[in-house]
Every structure is written in structure tokens, then in C-alpha cells.
Amino acid sequence: MLKKIQSPMESRHKLPSADDSPIAQQAKDLAKDFISYRLGNNPIPVSPTAATLRKLADQIEEQYPLLLNHLCHKLNITPATVYQTFFEIASEVFVDGVNWGRIVALYAFGGKLAMYCDQHHMKELVGSVTDWVGRYVGGLCEWIENHGGWEGLHRQFNDKGENAAWWKGVFLTTLGLGTLAAFMYSR
């Protein structure tokens, strides 16, 4: 089980408080599934939505490998700065509003951040990153519910039938990545 470490920065930058709604719980479950998948520990998705999220995030990483691969390195993440960096990037991703692409981009960033922590002698922070992603996205419950819940993500971007919805999803995700890129280069 992934362990959660509380950062001193959490007192200044607040994540949404814990929400027990089914949508918020699924956001947390998706974060656990996705980050475990990124770390090579969970080959089978926990749900069809988890499989769709993985597929979209994989597509992002294939199309934009340099952005996500270099994001953590450029930001000089340390145990002392990891929470603040996560919170600033998450806030920046959603500064212009919420869409599925931005949600997927945050999961993709969270996966890369967890991998970075795992590979750079900060394994104790992987559980915290997982929690932060789940809580941040869980705080978007109202938007998620208004857009069909998590099943809405799966229905909109599932690769069955026409590929138009799939590529629209990749385009929406690109909007989230554009925000990440702008944030990275402004620092």
C-alpha cells in the first residue's frame, strides 16, 4: 500500500477537503490505479474508465514525451518542494476551466511525478502524490458529475466506433498539456 506523507507546504496551499462522494472516491481509486500502473505494479485496470484513462495518458506520453519527461527535472523537485510544485501545476492546468483533457493531463503529470519520486530516492512521497492527484481531481466532482460522471470519460473517449471522439479527447488533452508547457517555460 502506498504511504502518504504530509508536507509542510500543505498548510499554505490547500487541496480540496476529503469528499466521500462516489465520484471523489473514484477519482482517488483512479489515481491509485494509474500511478501503480505507471510504476509497473498494476497491469490490469480496475475499471473500464481506468483503462480509458491509461490509454489517453499513454497517447499523451507518446505525442509529447519531452514535455512530461523533462517537467520534473526542469522544476528541480525535492522533498521540500514537491507539494508546492504539484499544487501550482494543478492550479495552472485548471486556471482556464475544467475539461476531460485537463483532468487526464493532471493524472499524466501525477504519474510522471510519482515515477520521478520513485526513481530519485523519494519513494516515500509516491503515496502522497497519489493522494494529492486523487484529492485534487476529487474536488472537481461537480464538473465530473455534470459531464456524465467517470462513465462520461469512458463513453466519450472509448476507442469503439468512430475515432473522431478519440482524437477530440487527445485534442482536449493537448490543451491541458499546453498549460503545463506554458507553466514550465515561465519558471
Query: Is residue 10 assigned to a domain?
Result: no
Q: Is residue 48 part of a domain?
A: yes
* Residue 161: other Cβ atoms inside 10 A: 8
Which triple of cell numbers denotes residue 5? 506523507
Average pLDDT over residues 33-44: 94
b (16+ CB within 10 A) / e for 16-44: eeeeeeebbebbbbbbbbbbbbbbeebee
Residue among 53, 42, 25, 6 nearest 158 (CA):
53
Instruction: Tell me whether residue 1 is in a domain.
Output: no
Instruction: Give 73: exposed, middle or buried? Use CB within 10 Å, 0-12, 13-18, 19+.
Output: exposed
Establish if 148 belongs to a structural domain.
yes
Number of domains composing the chain: 1
Question: What was the pLDDT predicted at 89?
Answer: 86
Evaluate whether residue 15 is within a structural domain.
no
Tens of pLDDT, residues 64-117 = 777 777 777 777 888 998 998 899 888 888 888 898 888 998 999 999 999 999
Question: Which domain covers residue 180, as residue numbers?
Answer: 21-186
Give the CATH number for residue 175: 1.10.437.10
133-180 pLDDT tens trace: 999 999 999 999 999 999 999 888 875 544 555 455 555 555 555 655
Residue 8 domain-assigned (yes or no): no
